[in-house]
Amino acid sequence: MMKELNTKKQDLKAASEEYKEKRNALNAEASTLAAKRNDLNKSTKELINEAQEYKKLRDENNEQVKENKAKRDEINAKANEVFAKVDALRAASNLTGPSIKDIRKEIDRLEFTQQTEVLTPAKEKDLVSKITELQKQYVVKKDQLESNTELKNLLDEAQQIRDEASEFHNVLSEYAQKAQEYHDKMISTFKEADKMRAESDAAHKQFVEFQEKADEQHKLFISAQKEIRDIDKEVRKMRKGETDGKKVASMEDVRKDAAELFEKFKSGEKLTTENLMTLQKSGML
């Protein structure tokens, strides 16, 4: 029985060490994953803060767009009032047809097309012809307007107002471009944060899995340790029983020897010191 218990104890010790090693390895892996998860969470938070800052800058620029657009529209409304007077005066002066402003705008549009688009020789020739014709109309219209002082003054006033409106338009265009840039950065950063958050979630999931496996190995380790302690208790009991049995057997032998010596003592035989000590140990003296 004692041999079987010792064998089982050795097996449990070996299994216990194996459980402990697996538990420690799994805990180490879980710690690595926890550190990775924490780093990813920190980076995700930083990216979200960065994206929020881009959002703030975008909104600030959009507010500037809104303010400058309102000013531009207000000034354009004033310009339209002056151009309405121009149209009325042109009609009264029999200066019908396209306005000098519209002619200039069309010339600019065609020249821009000529400069920026790839055209066939035939199309470019046709375009140059149209530009030349419009330039002639522009000169004629300009001469007509310059001869009419009142109309010229109104057109100059309208143009000044338009120029002022253009300044606000240019400013709002700059703010609009910046707002779009910050919006694009915000979207890109939020997407990066989402990607990092997904990596963090995956690392956390792995961390939980390794932690659960480590807990299982720890429970097995604790269980094995408990069994070892139980075996040790059982062995101690068995050894105590054997010791007590030996003590009882030894006392019986002493008493048996003492009885024989006591009979010799009663018959007058001389006893040695050792014989006397045996009788004393047995309680007969």
- Is residue 278 one of the residues assigned to a domain? no
The Cα–Cα gap between 130 and 137 comes to 11
pLDDT of 142 reads 76
Residue 74 CB burial class (10 angstroms; 0-12, 13-18, ≥19):
exposed
- Is residue 68 one of the residues assigned to a domain? yes
The Cα–Cα gap between 82 and 154 comes to 7
Own/partner long-range contacts of 242-250 (Cβ < 8 Å, ≥24 apart): none
Chain centroid to CA 137 = 65
pLDDT of 267 reads 66
**In this structure, which amino acid lies at residue 221?**
F
pLDDT of 156 reads 81
- Is residue 47 one of the residues assigned to a domain? yes
pLDDT of 93 reads 66
DSSP state of 93: T
Under a CB-based contact definition with an 8 Å cutoff, are residues 137 and 98 in contact?
A: yes
- Is residue 118 one of the residues assigned to a domain? yes
- Is residue 165 one of the residues assigned to a domain? yes
Q: Which residues contact 229 (CB under 8 A, 6 or more apart)?
A: none
- Is residue 263 one of the residues assigned to a domain? no
Positive or negative CA dihedral for 160, 161, 166, 172?
A: positive
The residue range of the domain holding 69 is: 36-196
Total domain count, the chain: 1
pLDDT per residue rounded down to tens, the chain (285 residues):
677 877 888 988 999 999 999 999 999 999 999 999 999 999 999 999 999 999 999 999 999 999 999 998 899 888 888 878 877 877 766 566 777 778 888 888 888 888 788 888 899 899 999 999 999 988 887 777 677 777 778 878 888 888 888 898 889 889 999 999 999 999 999 999 999 999 999 999 999 999 999 999 999 999 999 988 888 887 777 777 555 555 544 556 556 666 665 666 666 666 566 655 655 655 555
Dihedral pair phi/psi, residue 117, rounded to 5°: -110, 150
Number of H helices, E strands in the chain: 5, 0
DSSP state of 283: T
pLDDT of 285 reads 55
pLDDT of 15 reads 92
The Cα–Cα gap between 122 and 175 comes to 41
- Is residue 241 one of the residues assigned to a domain? no
pLDDT of 52 reads 96
Dihedral pair phi/psi, residue 37, rounded to 5°: -60, -45
Dihedral pair phi/psi, residue 97, rounded to 5°: 100, -175
- Is residue 173 one of the residues assigned to a domain? yes
